[in-house]
Structure 1
Amino acid sequence: MRKIARPRGLSRRGLLGAAARLAPLAAVPTVSLPGSAAAATDPYAALARASVTEFRSAWDAYRRLAWGRDELRPLTGAGSDFFIPGSTLGLTIVEALDTLYLMELDEELDAGVQWVRDDLVLGQDAPVQVFETIIRLVGGLLSGHLATKDTVLLDRARELADRLLPAFTRSPTGAPYRYVNLATGAVSGKENHLAEIGTCITEFGELSRLTGDRKYYDAAKKALHAVYERRSRLNLLGTGMNVETGAWTGTTATLDPPVDSFYEYLWDGWELYRDEDLRTWYSTLTAAVLEHLTERRSGRLWFRQADMRTGAATGHAQSELTAFYAGLLAQSGRVAEGEAYHASWAAALRSFRLPPESLDYHGMRALDPSYPLRPEYVDSCLFLWLTTGKELYRRRAAEMFRRQKQYCKVVNGYTVVRDVTARPMKLGDLTPAYWFSENAKYYYLLFARARRFDYRSNYLTTEGNVLRGLR
């Protein structure tokens, strides 16, 4: 989940001007487009073709067995619902739109857009999770619109955002409620997590940019500020808050879920929209994280849990979702720390064939042995490569691609793993929609020298939706 590349010397997600940095960044790697002499001898060309083949395998299975449903269950050969039991919002289709565009699978892209135009029903009388709906559906519709220029996709993104706005506008603090009914606007879930409160400013900001209506950006920024102004004297944050009272409901400082992408979107908001407040908030909070949460274990960099008020250590678990932070650190100028953190995850993979959902980095043992096809390790491979130009990160991604194919590939595409420590691994029965938006896209961009992607100036959301850099 995360992203940006940049013009030479600038930082991550599709910069619009000269970004202030915490440290100087390396030059962007040279990328040769298909047809060039360099491309003809590209050692990753076979992997590029394989990445499209594997995507098509999963996509064809979805079209055949679950078209229009939120997600595919590849073992049982059926569809499943993500947001609303017994109903669909076409999650996999929306998530895949810009991946289809980048891979030049235009007939499939047309079919996806047609489904959104004819069959996507947004005003359903049911509560949906605001955070997931924004990053996955609003973001997917926006990136699909930017790829195709189809106004229907923008109209649907705006309609959906309007249906979600009561979660923000009815909150006394401005931090959104966790759920909202798409038909009635009724809100619920007053106790919310930081990632769910703060991960919306790029999608809502883009909607404001495209429509000229600031209400979306303003709502997202107010939500971020509601959290920032309640930081501890150490400039640390907890894990959740009551959106009605502003009281902390979790006082553990951590980078792990349910906090992770809160930090990411502070930086992204600065990079995309040049909002000085967001840069200040990110810098202040990041300095506190690096001061109070970093831990070296056997020479490796990890991030512990601590009490937000005292800084006292409270745990040493790490979620695979937090592997994204390696890319974010590098892209925001902390290149050495970003590389060191990614090296920690690469070392962990010498103990596991696939990264477990969470691990105890003191004993290097799995706390949650599942592998839900998470993309964060490869996400950071992409953005560390774009930041440093080091082929090391493409090689690490290639190894993960091979492992994912070896352990997760089934007849109908790819599926999650219930236990990576079992021999043989125990498989689950789900192709998460984010696999189409993230895993497949990251591999393709790393290996393929994509003609429709600007490697020097781009922005991908936490869900892998491209909001800058589509050619």
Structure 2
Amino acid sequence: MNFTKSCTNKIPSRLKNRILYAIILIISIGLLTYQLIVLDYQFELTNVFNDKQKVQNNTSQFPKIQYDFPLNETAEEKSIREQRRESVKNGFLHAWRGYTKYAWGYDELSPVSNNGRNKFNGWGATIVDALDTLWIMDLKDEFNASREFVSKLNFTNSNDGTNVFETIIRYLGGLLSAFELSDDHIFLEKAKELGEALLYAFNNDTGLPYNSVHLNPDLRVQHPPYGGGLLAEVGTLCLEFTKLSQLSGDNEFFFIANNITKVISNANKTIPGLYPIKIDQATGNFINDAVSFGANGDSFYEYLLKEFILVGDALDKYRRMYIESVESMYKYLIKESPINDRPELLFLGELSINGYFVGKMGHLSCFVPGLLALGSKFLNRPKDLETAKRLAETCYFLNRMTSTGIGGEEVWFKVVEEKNTTNNEIHKRLPDGIYRLSPSYSLLRPETIESLFILYRITGDKKYQDQGWDIWQSLEKWCKTPAGYSGLHDVNSIPPAKNDGMER
């Protein structure tokens, strides 16, 4: 006797019909969900790629953001401007020649010991990262030598794990910039090779990238991170991957980037627009409530605005996410200056893992004034420009308050009434209202000067040129070595000890 048939025959016909209807309903819902996902993706894909005229029209409607500089520059003003420009260019050439002499092919130069070292896969990170600068500075011989080096790179022959975030921002970003400036297709070909090699990093349930992977096909092992990934690392690739899709015609990169933004956007967060810095790649959930526009969070927020600028209204969610983040930053993270003689300043703090405000402002967060200034023009938000100016003054002040005139890694503002005189004494009489400069090292970070540059271009105020020049002179005085420029162990010591690093 057929047991299965016997059991089936014992099921009442009414129940069998209900089971059949339930199965049909489940299948229908599944198909509908799949179609909605596909249609949503195809809609966004059409907006970004297949209707290029629409994207061009959307971005062409952006207002002019650069100040209308007068043409009546005096001879003295021209002389000062050109002298400063040549000083910066000569500084770049000084570091470049030291690198080519002592560390060509390595990722970076140790500018005190004059050795090469590899921190970013050993593919010559300095060379790839400097391609756009070489082109802009009209250093074509150096650019062509670098092109020859890049043409021979093999991104899959490494025996070590590859940091996905660093590889995307340094190598992929450098290659795409070089292609757009030079129109030399070798850079696009190499960018496509690297992008395809990186696809394995997103091979999981959420599509959020692992921190590192082996790009060598024979060593294909993912490295699921202990304790999750960082927001800045997981969420910083939409610009490079969208641009790679636009230039190569391969939409897979855009799909990956867009999916990551959706997962992060949909994850639960305590405060709208403030995304915690630790996220679980396996589940797509945030791990704690720590929030920072500095270390571990910075570039995620930066890319929200810049992705919107890249594609315009074709992906309006980036505009909405950016505005929501800025509004919550105003409400929860930006505070008035506690420095008695500088009440006009603002500072940008953080939230701890428990969601409490901390008066710590890292040098990395000094990109925010430039970001707000750009957003004020692109999105017609005048308040953001005024905030950008006040934050930029703080970043400049944090450089000039040290013995070297170079900013340290992190500064801690007083957010309680009690004055911490002990820490002020330990840290060499810091300004009242700042109780700690720790860590006090410098990694030659560019964020403050970047914001000053953007504010000068937007406002036309030459004080930002002068402030940038002040910082540059301090770098020349304290960081320059016979082969390049070195970071410092302590920006508040004279003379400061060099750390033998030129990594930024």
Q: 1:27 to 1:428 in 2, by over 3 A?
A: closer
Does the Cα contact within 8 Å between 2:269 and 2:289 map onto a contact in 1? no
1:69 and 2:103 are equivalent in the alignment: no
Q: CA RMSD in A?
A: 2.2
**Aligned partner of residue 347 in structure 2, secondary structure:** strand
Indicate the residue corresponding to 2:163 in structure 1: 129
> What's the CA shift for 1:40?
8.2
Whole-Å separation in 1 of the counterparts to 2:183 and 2:190: 13
Q: 1:332 to 1:56 in 2, by over 3 A?
A: same
Post-superposition CA distance 1:120-152 (Å, at most 9, x none): 554323211111100000001111122222211
Out of 184-193 and 378-387, give the one that drifted further: 184-193
Q: Structure 1 segments of 4 or more deviating over 3 A?
A: 36-40, 119-123
Paired residue type of 2:501: L
Indicate the residue corresponding to 1:427 in structure 2: 498
Post-superposition CA distance 1:138-194 (Å, at most 9, x none): 0011111222222111111111111112222x1322221111111134322341100
Paired residue type of 2:301: Y
**Aligned partner of residue 359 in structure 1, secondary structure:** strand
Q: 1:247 to 1:403 in 2, by over 3 A?
A: same
Does the Cα contact within 8 Å between 2:487 and 2:501 map onto a contact in 1? yes
> What's the CA shift for 1:312?
3.9
Which residues of 2 match residues 67-466 of structure 1 at below 5 A?
67-84=104-121, 88-168=122-202, 170-184=203-217, 185-190=220-225, 191-235=228-272, 236-274=274-312, 275-298=315-338, 299=343, 300-306=345-351, 312-313=356-357, 315-333=358-376, 334-352=384-402, 353-362=405-414, 363-364=433-434, 365-432=436-503, 434=504
Post-superposition CA distance 1:240-278 (Å, at most 9, x none): 111101232232122121001110001111001122011
**Aligned partner of residue 190 in structure 2, secondary structure:** helix
TM-score normalized by the length of structure 2? 0.77
Does the Cα contact within 8 Å between 2:400 and 2:406 map onto a contact in 1? no
Q: 1:312 to 1:390 in 2, by over 3 A?
A: same
**Aligned partner of residue 327 in structure 2, secondary structure:** helix
Paired residue type of 1:194: L
> What's the CA shift for 1:37?
8.0
Does the Cα contact within 8 Å between 1:93 and 1:112 map onto a contact in 2? yes
Q: 1:215 to 1:342 in 2, by over 3 A?
A: same
> What's the CA shift for 1:303?
1.8
> What's the CA shift for 1:56?
1.1
Q: 1:416 to 1:122 in 2, by over 3 A?
A: farther
Gaps of 5+ in 1: 1-14, 435-471
Does the Cα contact within 8 Å between 1:358 and 1:366 map onto a contact in 2? yes
Does the Cα contact within 8 Å between 2:399 and 2:408 map onto a contact in 1? no
Whole-Å separation in 2 of the counterparts to 1:377 and 1:247: 32
Whole-Å separation in 1 of the counterparts to 2:266 and 2:501: 40
Paired residue type of 1:306: L
Paired residue type of 2:359: H
> What's the CA shift for 1:285?
1.8
Paired residue type of 1:167: A
**Aligned partner of residue 287 in structure 2, secondary structure:** strand
Q: 1:207 to 1:32 in 2, by over 3 A?
A: farther
Indicate the residue corresponding to 2:51 in structure 1: none
- Relative to its length, the structure with more strand (as a share) is 1
Q: Percent identity?
A: 27
Greater Rg, structure 1 or structure 2? 2
**Aligned partner of residue 79 in structure 1, secondary structure:** strand
> What's the CA shift for 1:42?
4.3
> What's the CA shift for 1:27?
5.0
Out of 273-282 and 247-256, give the one that drifted further: 247-256
Indicate the residue corresponding to 1:41 in structure 2: 78
Does the Cα contact within 8 Å between 2:269 and 2:275 map onto a contact in 1? yes
Does the Cα contact within 8 Å between 2:213 and 2:222 map onto a contact in 1? yes
**Aligned partner of residue 336 in structure 2, secondary structure:** strand
Whole-Å separation in 1 of the counterparts to 2:134 and 2:467: 24
Paired residue type of 2:222: V
> What's the CA shift for 1:386?
1.6
> What's the CA shift for 1:17?
2.6
Q: 1:179 to 1:272 in 2, by over 3 A?
A: same
TM-score normalized by the length of structure 1? 0.82
Paired residue type of 1:156: K
2:67 is matched with which residue: 20, 24, 28?
A: 28
Whole-Å separation in 1 of the counterparts to 2:477 and 2:244: 40
- More contact order relative to length (CA 8 Å, sep ≥ 6): 1
Q: 1:116 to 1:240 in 2, by over 3 A?
A: same
Indicate the residue corresponding to 1:54 in structure 2: 91
**Aligned partner of residue 276 in structure 2, secondary structure:** coil
Does the Cα contact within 8 Å between 1:242 and 1:248 map onto a contact in 2? yes
> What's the CA shift for 1:361?
2.4
**Aligned partner of residue 253 in structure 1, secondary structure:** coil
Whole-Å separation in 1 of the counterparts to 2:457 and 2:271: 33
**Aligned partner of residue 400 in structure 2, secondary structure:** coil
Does the Cα contact within 8 Å between 1:32 and 1:39 map onto a contact in 2? no
**Aligned partner of residue 373 in structure 2, secondary structure:** helix
Whole-Å separation in 2 of the counterparts to 1:345 and 1:40: 26
Post-superposition CA distance 1:188-231 (Å, at most 9, x none): 23411000011111111111110112211221121122112124
